[in-house]
Amino acid sequence: MRTESISETLGRRFHIVQPPTFVARRDHRAQIGFSRLTSSVAMRGRSMAVPQEETFAFHVPLSAHFFSNLWVGGRHQSLPSGALGHIFLVDLSENPVVGLDTQFDSLRFHAPQAALDELAAEQGARRIRGFRASADGQRDLVMFGLAQTLAAAMESPRTVNTLFVDYIALAFFAHVSRNYGGATTGGPAKRGGLAPWQLHRALEYIDANLDGDPSIGLLAAECRLSSSHFARAFKATTGVPPHHWLMNRRIDRASKLLIDETLTISEVAQLCGFVDQSHLARVFTRSRGCSPASWRRQKLA
């Protein structure tokens, strides 16, 4: 499902402006989605009914304001207030509906069964046949941390790359499958880093696509590995996850191109895969300790 489709559907369902949404595993049949649902005012009525689908949604409150009532399969239950640090699991095959009589701010993790099956198969793990969590919410600081990371990234969604979203999706799957799905791997966990040829191919692919938006799936295919194995092995080899490496290489290229006075800073930003000049300036200053313009002046002095 496209990012726009998820946002539009959730906007209608919860009677809010289309929420910021990231979609992971874009190059796969089934995708995992992350959306921030927010309303600063209490409304009347309930959210729209959900068409039956084999999908699970984890809601992670980002403030003390959260839905107070939930109906699952027509059965009502009250939700605890002040649930910061807790997660709430709903099965979309059971037509969950929430009351909208309170403010809310929640990060929603959307996990279709088909995506879970694909990830389990990649890892040689048993198929996850549903998740189990307390109906009153369950304390989970790992999920809360992931939700906070995603919420911060959604403040500037255009600057977020696919490698980052895919990496979060893999971390999410590993955590929930182990803690709520009872997953066990089909064999010993694969450890260690990439083989020299795999590292060379991955870095070559990243360098060739600095102005694009490569995914972990595409990089993994270059190395003939599953996405999850590749992500672990890449970090073990380089010391950083793929999205950090991509950003560092973009900064390295920008540092070289800035010395060319025939290029404007805006053109440098475009050639290096940044959204615009201001995006380059923020990342470059954080990395090099000075703005791109200052770097250019120092190098050409």
How long is the chain?
Answer: 301
Which residue type occupies 92?
L
Q: How many whole angstroms separate alpha carbon 121 and alpha carbon 98?
A: 33
Q: Give the pLDDT of residue 186.
A: 46
Compute the CA torsion angle 80, 85, 86, 91 (nearest 10 deg).
120
Instruction: Quote the tokens at residue 20.
Output: 């910021």
What confidence score (pLDDT) does residue 1 get? 54
CA 273 from chain centre, in angstroms, equals 19
**Structure tokens that stand for 179 in this block:** 């803690």
Q: H-helix or E-strand containing 119?
A: helix 113-122
Could you give the 3-state DSSP secondary structure of residue 163?
helix
CA distances for 90 relative to 64, 111, 132, 247, 275, angstroms: 19, 11, 9, 36, 36
Cβ atoms of 109 and 92 within 8 Å: the answer is: no
Cα-Cα-Cα-Cα torsion 30, 31, 37, 43, nearest 10 degrees, comes to -10
Beta strands 86-91 and 97-98 are: unpaired
Q: What is the pLDDT along the chain (301 residues), one digit of tens a residue?
A: 566 688 999 999 999 999 999 999 877 778 899 999 999 999 989 999 887 889 999 999 998 888 888 998 888 988 877 678 999 999 998 889 999 999 999 999 999 999 999 888 888 778 888 888 887 788 999 999 999 999 999 999 999 999 999 999 999 999 999 899 876 544 445 568 999 999 999 999 999 999 999 999 999 999 999 999 999 999 999 999 999 999 999 999 999 999 999 999 999 999 999 999 999 999 999 999 999 999 999 998 7
The confidence score (pLDDT) of residue 281 equals 96
Question: In the structure encoding, which two tokens stand for residue 21, read together?
Answer: 């949404």
pLDDT at 291: 95
Q: For strand 69-72 and strand 21-24, is the pairing parallel, antiparallel, or unpaired?
A: unpaired
Structure tokens at 62: 């980002």
Q: Of 128, 113, 223, 234, give the one whose Cα is nearest residue 185.
A: 128
Residue 178: burial class (beta carbons within 10 Å; 0-12, 13-18, 19+): middle
Please tell me the distance from the alpha carbon of residue 249 to that of residue 91, in angstroms, as a whole number: 41
The full set of domains in the chain, from first to last, is: 3-179 (2.60.120.10), 196-244 (1.10.10.60), 246-300 (1.10.10.60)
State residue 188's pLDDT score.
Answer: 47
Q: Is the dihedral angle over the CA atoms 143, 147, 148, 149 positive or is it negative?
A: positive
Query: From CA 99, how far away is CA 69, in angstroms rounded?
Result: 5
**Contact present, 249 and 210 (Cβ < 8 Å):** yes
- Residue whose token pair is 């969590």: 133
